[in-house]
Structure 1
Amino acid sequence: MHTFPEHLLQGHANFMAGRYMREKDRIRDLASEGQNPSTMIIACCDSRAAPEMIFDSGPGELFVLRNVANLVPTYQPDGGQHGTSAGIEFAVKALAIENIVVMGHGRCGGIKAALAPNQAPLDAGDFIGKWMAMLGELPGQLGKNGLMTQAERQTALERISIRNSLRNLRTFPYIAELEKAGKLLLHGAWFDISTGELWIMDAKSGDFQRPNI
């Protein structure tokens, strides 16, 4: 007989007895009035890098979109099924989001796969390989630097891919228009799983720095 995972049932019970009881008025307001977050986070699927945990956010505060390696494709209104682009469209057009944060993280499995193009795919469909191909020549360019260690290449590509996703976001006409008008801000961030540190991308230089707070 199929059974629902016990640890999820217990987690929900804990939620109902704890956080739900503390925040039930807010949760009920969100249910009746709808969501109105000001920030969208585009993050990785990795279970170790959950935005709600990292930013200690409550219900309704963040609109979170997660995919493998937190990648953003270019604007492609070609009739295809584009889950990430659909999420972006809803956040910007329907929710009037004011901030979009592309957040990468250390030890990203998708980035690791992109740096090992000759590795056998997990499945014949190779959806991961095709998805990571969005990075184009960037992994190969890093691979040519023989003075870098594999760990250095991975951290570098994790951060470069954030810049690449921000560049791709600006190919969405409505995003470029809103950013130019000062109504939408784009941000890059990188989370170190091992230390818990958050590194913020400087909008002008592109360098990643730890915030002074």
Structure 2
Amino acid sequence: IPTGITVDLDLNIDFMDNAAFEAIHSWRLDHERLGGTVAIDELHDQWYTMAAGGARMAPAKSPPKPAGRWWLPWTHRRRAETGMTESESECRITQGAQEFHRRTAPLVRPIFTELAAGQQPTHLFITCADSRIVPHLITSSGPGDLFTVRNVGNLVPRAGSDPCDDSIASAVEFATGILNVHTITVCGHSGCGAMAALLDGPATTAHLRHLGRWLRHGDSSLALLDDGADGDDPGTRLDRLCRLNIRQQLANLRTYPAVDEQVQAGTLKLMGLYFDIGSARVEVVRPGAPGSPATATT
């Protein structure tokens, strides 16, 4: 290994004895002493980390857990923290792609080979652009399952609404007219910034022309809250609005003729999901009649 370079070392092991630790650790110290950098990423248990902290090594008495750290944010991964500054966000993308090529691509390539001929998703999944919402993670879905649309506030403008928005309308048309999805899901979440902006009033987004205009599509959700449509919901005013907004967007979907016709024919279902970020729990929100509380189950 050339002196002074950055080395990424993946330890995909079930156990590390003291001799192996000493060999790796001594090499690492020497390499770093000569100006190099070593990033060690452990895919199973943290054998190297524990040994470096002084723990005695003993064989595991239970089968190793499968690698399950792919979902961690960049800031929680050892490799991303090594020599990385906040101004180097582009490096995180490229390093993430490299990690995908190393670990994931060989595993999913057969699936993507099948999908290369076309997609047949069963769901149109409309959710918020919030970075904390990961549709495939919270629904345990995979490539080809969800036709996904994201926007600020998981809003669905009513058909023919002003201001006009063709991005949602075109997605609905494509999903129902070409892909023939079976279900349309609207997924909202706790602590939504778009809903908070609605509660704070137009002055909050006065300097953000496009955002302010977009949020006008959420006025009907705010009206539901003001009318007490959430019944005895004990949540905060913000989280109550986040839940009601899901129900309102489900109602807005029925203003699209193709959606309404297929729902009435029984070939299309509408459902809502509410993701509580703090507890990592998903609730199912059923469409409700005006004035009735949305039902939610975990």
**Which residue, 170, 174, 185 being the options, matches 2:258?**
174
Give unmatched runs, 5+ long, in structure 2: 1-87
Counterpart in the other structure of 1:200: 284
3-state secondary structure, aligned to 1:136: helix
For residues 1-213 of structure 1, the aligned pairs below 5 Å read 5-31=90-116, 33-76=117-160, 80-121=164-205, 123-125=207-209, 127-136=210-219, 138-139=221-222, 142=225, 152-203=236-287, 206-210=294-298
**TM-score scaled by length of structure 2:** 0.62
Q: Is the 8 A contact 2:198 2:219 kept in 1?
A: no
Deviations 1:107-150 (A, max 9, x none): 1000000000154327352x2222121122543664698xx9xx
Task: Give the C-alpha shift of residue 27 in structure 1.
Answer: 0.4
Point out which structure has higher relative CO (alpha carbons under 8 A, 6+ apart). 1
Distance 1:11 1:124 in 2: 32
Distance 1:139 1:79 in 2: 18
Counting aligned pairs with the same residue, the percent is 32
Give unmatched runs, 5+ long, in structure 1: none
Greater Rg, structure 1 or structure 2?
A: 2
RMSD of aligned alpha carbons: 2.7
Q: Is the 8 A contact 1:40 1:91 kept in 2?
A: yes
Which amino acid in the other structure matches residue 191 of structure 2?
R
Deviations 1:80-121 (A, max 9, x none): 551111111111111001011100000100000000015432
Distance of aligned partners of 1:181 and 1:124 in 2 relative to their CA distance in 1, 3 Å threshold: closer
Aligned residues: 204
Which amino acid in the other structure matches residue 194 of structure 1?
G
